[in-house]
Chains A and B, each alone.
Chain A
Amino acid sequence: MGMFERLMALDRRWVYLILGLAVMAGVKARIIIPIPISQEARRIHGFVDSLQAGDAIHLAMDYDPSVMAELQPMTLAFLKQCFEKRIRVVVSSLHQFGPALAAGALDTAVARHFERTGERIENGVDYVFLGYKPYPALIILGMGQNYRIPFPNDYYNVPLDDLPMMRDIKNYDDVKAVINISGTSATDWWISYGNGRYGIPLAIGVTGVMATDYYPYLQTGQIFGILGGLEGAAQYEMLVNTPGPAVEGMSVQMIAHAIIILFIIVGNVAYFARRKSLPQGSGSV
């Protein structure tokens, strides 16, 4: 067995081990690398920044725990910006396993804001958490007519009419934009139904897997910003001046990407070397 054959036959668990150790070492080292900010992230931040205190914005958190690693940091960074600017936030969660994550993120953001500034952010006054309803597409349309159609009560079962914040909020016309942070096709519905039917300005924060698919909508103006995966989260953390888990993760990403690129190169070198050494046309590679 030549060197390349031996390389090709390497048990996959060795590969797992190399990656695992590299990521662990990277996380432990806690290196912060400079993060270039993309235009798509800057536009979301700039738009929210130009709003007045007391304006309202809709944050749609449509993701479940499996992708929270990428999306929760975005949510927290975004909530920090809103709370600091005293922008009121309407929060919904159209993924069945999302409400607990959303409630958790809101609690964390409120506690952090209190720690930092001593100001209390109050449920029902500064933010409202609507919760979950099935059939996201029709819920998005329903909220465009009146938030009270799908959500007579908020997540904590208080009627919306009893919440001071909702007194002057009827539908999307009363919020300045929707920020959809999502790991599912809910993003497509927000684009087709939310933006399509009600013309609401929409920005999205999506997982890395989905990010590249939404650039066409950016060019048409159907959305005005994209945050893609952990990179987008890290950019937003930088924009709101709170480097957190996403920013720390970027140095680990660098290490892991180097390893994966190396794997691709070594694998392909071995493949071509072996193909050369085999008689033509045997085909069993």
Chain B
Amino acid sequence: MKRQLPIIIIFILGVFMVFQYHIPHETSEFFYEFIALDWPPIIGMFALTLGIISLVRVSITRVRQRQDNWQYSIVTLVALTTIMAAGFIDTRGADAPPVRWMFDNMIIPVSSTMFSLLAFFIASAAYRAFRARSVLATILLVSAVIVMLRFFPLGPLTDPESELSRWILTVPNLAAKRAIIIGVGLGIVSTALKVVLGIERSFLGRD
């Protein structure tokens, strides 16, 4: 009941969905359309609230126990309540003007700037860490520099028609990525198969 039944449910649904792909019958289409594709977003909505609830719980604990940097957890909680209040007062929800305002002027600057820090980190790493320390690292660096040179009008080397960087992208890069994609694909399928067959069950938690 605690463990066996969920695994049986996964098995039945998983096998059904695999067969459904191969047997396009009306009845199987009906189940596919009106249950398999219709219900999960609703379950997802509840599942996703878990993360938010635990964020609130962690923040509150931090403030209560006066852990390191507990003051910042207050900032998190205040921000959370403010935007939720703004969104729930207005019937437009996430599209309410104050919510859009906070999104445009507070969420966007933080997340886009946070990622732009990486420009500095990559420059610093280029200077201090990217070394041709082995044959493989050298191949990688040479290929990277050629690709980076595509911005410069350096004659035949970077000419758009016979560009060397384009050759790298569409020949060796394609081959490399295809080998990786096939591996990733087999990995995804094998994990999914193990889940459906009940071999892999760590996601159900321990007990």
Chain A residues engaging chain B, CB cutoff 8 angstroms: 8, 10, 12, 15-16, 18-20, 23, 34, 36-38, 64-69, 96-97, 99-101, 103-104, 133-135, 138-139, 141-142, 145-146, 149-150, 155-156, 197, 212-216, 219, 250, 253-254, 256-261, 263-264, 266-268, 271-272
Q: Which A residues lie within 8 Å of B127 (CB)? A: 10, 15, 263-264, 266-267
Q: How far is the CA of A18 from the CA of B119 in the complex (A)?
A: 12
- Once the chains bind, are A65 and B123 in contact (CB under 8 Å)? no
| 3 closest cross-chain pairs (CB), A and B | A134-B44, A36-B160, A263-B127
- Once the chains bind, are A20 and B120 in contact (CB under 8 Å)? yes
Q: Which A residues lie within 8 Å of B120 (CB)? A: 15-16, 19-20
- Once the chains bind, are B128 and A267 in contact (CB under 8 Å)? yes
- Once the chains bind, are A156 and B124 in contact (CB under 8 Å)? no
Question: B112 contacts the other chain (Cβ, under 8 Å)?
Answer: yes
- Once the chains bind, are B124 and A66 in contact (CB under 8 Å)? no
- Once the chains bind, are B123 and A149 in contact (CB under 8 Å)? no
Minimal Cβ-Cβ distance residue in B for A138: B40
Q: What is the number of residues of chain B that contact chain A, defined by CB distance less than 8 Å? A: 57
Ordered by A's residue number, 17 sampled pairs between the chains whose C-beta atoms are within 8 Å are: A15-B128, A23-B119, A36-B160, A38-B166, A65-B108, A68-B112, A103-B100, A104-B104, A133-B41, A135-B40, A138-B37, A142-B33, A142-B41, A213-B181, A215-B170, A258-B152, A260-B123
Taking a contact as CB atoms closer than 8 A, the residue among B45, B104, B114, B149 that contacts A100 in the complex is: B104
Binds A, one of B66-74, B171-179, B196-204: B171-179
Q: How far is the CA of A68 from the CA of B129 in the complex (A)?
A: 28
Q: Interface of chain B, helix or strand or loop or mixed?
A: helix
Taking a contact as CB atoms closer than 8 A, the residue among A23, A254, A263 that contacts B126 in the complex is: A263
Question: B4 contacts the other chain (Cβ, under 8 Å)?
Answer: no
- Once the chains bind, are B131 and A150 in contact (CB under 8 Å)? no
Given A149-B37, A258-B152, A261-B148, residue A16 in contact with residue B100 (CB < 8 A) = no
Given A99-B94, A135-B40, A254-B151, residue A15 in contact with residue B178 (CB < 8 A) = no
State the total of A-B contacts with C-beta under 8 angstroms: 150
- Once the chains bind, are B124 and A15 in contact (CB under 8 Å)? yes
Q: Which of A65, A69, A263 has the most CB of B within 10 A?
A: A65
Q: How far is the CA of A67 from the CA of B115 in the complex (A)?
A: 8
- Minimum CB–CB distance from A52 to chain B (whole Å) comes to 30
Q: Interface of chain A, helix or strand or loop or mixed?
A: helix
Question: B186 contacts the other chain (Cβ, under 8 Å)?
Answer: no
Contact with A along B151-190 (1 / 0, CB 8 A): 1110000001000001001100110011011000000000
Contact with A along B106-149 (1 / 0, CB 8 A): 01100110111001101110111111110000000100010011
Q: Which B residues lie within 8 Å of A18 (CB)? A: 123
Minimal Cβ-Cβ distance residue in B for A137: B40
- Once the chains bind, are B45 and A264 in contact (CB under 8 Å)? no
- Once the chains bind, are A257 and B151 in contact (CB under 8 Å)? yes
Q: Which B residues lie within 8 Å of A19 (CB)? A: 119-120, 123
Minimal Cβ-Cβ distance residue in B for A226: B169
- Once the chains bind, are A134 and B95 in contact (CB under 8 Å)? no
- Once the chains bind, are A259 and B123 in contact (CB under 8 Å)? yes
Given A104-B104, A264-B141, residue A15 in contact with residue B123 (CB < 8 A) = yes
Taking a contact as CB atoms closer than 8 A, the residue among A66, A214, A253, A271 that contacts B114 in the complex is: A66
Question: B11 contacts the other chain (Cβ, under 8 Å)?
Answer: no
Q: Which A residues lie within 8 Å of B18 (CB)? A: none
Q: Which of B34, B112, B129 has the most CB of A within 10 A?
A: B112
- Once the chains bind, are A264 and B126 in contact (CB under 8 Å)? yes
Q: How far is the CA of A15 from the CA of B122 in the complex (A)?
A: 10
Q: How far is the CA of A104 from the CA of B103 in the complex (A)?
A: 11
Q: Which B residues lie within 8 Å of A99 (CB)? A: 94-95
